[in-house]
Amino acid sequence: MRLIVADDYDAMSQSAGDELVSIITKRPSASVLVATGNTPMGLYRELANRRQNRQFDASRLRVFQLDEYLGLAPDDRRSLYGWMLRSFVEPLGIPSENVVRLPGDSDDPDAAGAAFEETILAAGGIDVAILGLGPNGHLGFNEPPAEPDSPTRVVDLTSASIDSNGQYWGGTEQVPRRALTTGMRILLAARQTLLVVSGAHKRDILSRTVSGPITPDVPASLLQAAPNVMVFADRAAWGSDLSRQAVQALLPATEI
C-alpha cells in the first residue's frame, strides 16, 4: 500500500489523475471498477479535461459499476448508475456497450450479482478499481463486517451509510435501505486500486484503514493485504498528528 498525501482536494485529484492516465495509456482496454460518491468527482473532472486535451483515449475502456441501491430503475434520479454515466462514462466518451451495469432492479438481485461477477471474470478480472472510503470504512457498499471473500450480494445499509448518503438526495428518508454491491473478493483481486479520501471527517477512518489492524470490521483495512493499492488523501484527511518519519515507518513507500 502506498499513501500519497496532497496539499488539498484539487492537488489530490490531479495526482490520482496522473496515475490513472498512466494506467490507461499503458492499457487502453483496461477493465475499470468505478465508484460514485463525492470524493472521486474531482478526479473524474480532471480526467474529462485531460481527455478533451487529447492526453489519452478512453474509448476502449471497459467499465463496471461498483454498487447500486436495490430496486431503482436506471433512470431513477437516485441511481448510482446514472451518476456514473454523467460523471465518468459520458465525459470520457466511453461507448455504452463497454459499460456493465450492476442491476439493482433485478427480480433476483443475488443471481444478478453472481452473473455480474462471471462477466468480470470472463473479462479477465478488474485492472483498476477506483474507490472512495465510507465513514464506517465501507468500500462500495461492503458494510462492516465484510469478509475478504464476500461475493457480490445484497446488503442492508448501516445507519452510518444512510446518514452520509442522505446528503446526495436531500435527506436520509430518500435513501433506499438496501443495496447490491460488488463483493470484497472482486475488489481485493483488482490488479491496481486507487482509493481517494478527502476531508477532516475521514481522518479517523483513514488512519484505521492504512495503519490499523486488518479486520472485516474496517473493510477498507483489508486493502493493506491487496496488491498495488495507492491511497490518495488530502492533508485535511490525513491530518498532521503523525510526523513524516512516523508515517514512513508505518508505510515504507509513502509520499508526503
Give me the residues that bind ligand F6R (CB under 6 A), please. Answer: 35-39, 66-67, 80, 132-134, 138-140
Name the active-site residue from 46, 117, 127, 136.
Answer: 136
What is the nearest approach in angstroms of ligand F6R to the Cβ of residue 134? 4
How near is the Cβ of 54 to ligand F6R at its closest, in Å? 29
Distance, in Å, from the CA atom of 40 to the CA atom of 132, rounded to the nearest integer, reads 7
Nearest approach in angstroms of CB 247 to ligand F6R is 22
**Whose CA is closest to 102, among 88, 116, 119?**
116
Q: Which is nearer to ligand F6R, 39 or 192 (CB)?
A: 39
Other Cβ atoms closer than 10 A to 20: 25
**Nearer residue to ligand F6R within complex by CB, 6 or 35:** 35
Catalytic residue among 19, 46, 67, 68: 67
Say whether 105 is catalytic. no
7 Cβ neighbours under 8 A, 6+ residues apart = 234, 235
Q: From CA 204, how far away is CA 60, in angstroms rounded?
A: 38
Spatial contact of 223 and 194, defined as CB atoms under 8 Å apart: no
- For this structure, is 201 an active site residue? no
138 an active-site residue? Answer: yes
Q: Which three cell numbers stand for residue 221?
A: 483495512
Of the two residues 56 and 88, which places its CB atom closer to ligand F6R in the complex?
Answer: 88
Rounded Cα–Cα distance for residues 226 and 152 (Å): 18
Least separation in angstroms between residue 13's CB and ligand F6R is: 12
**Annotated catalytic residue 136:** yes
Known catalytic residues are 67, 136, 138, 143
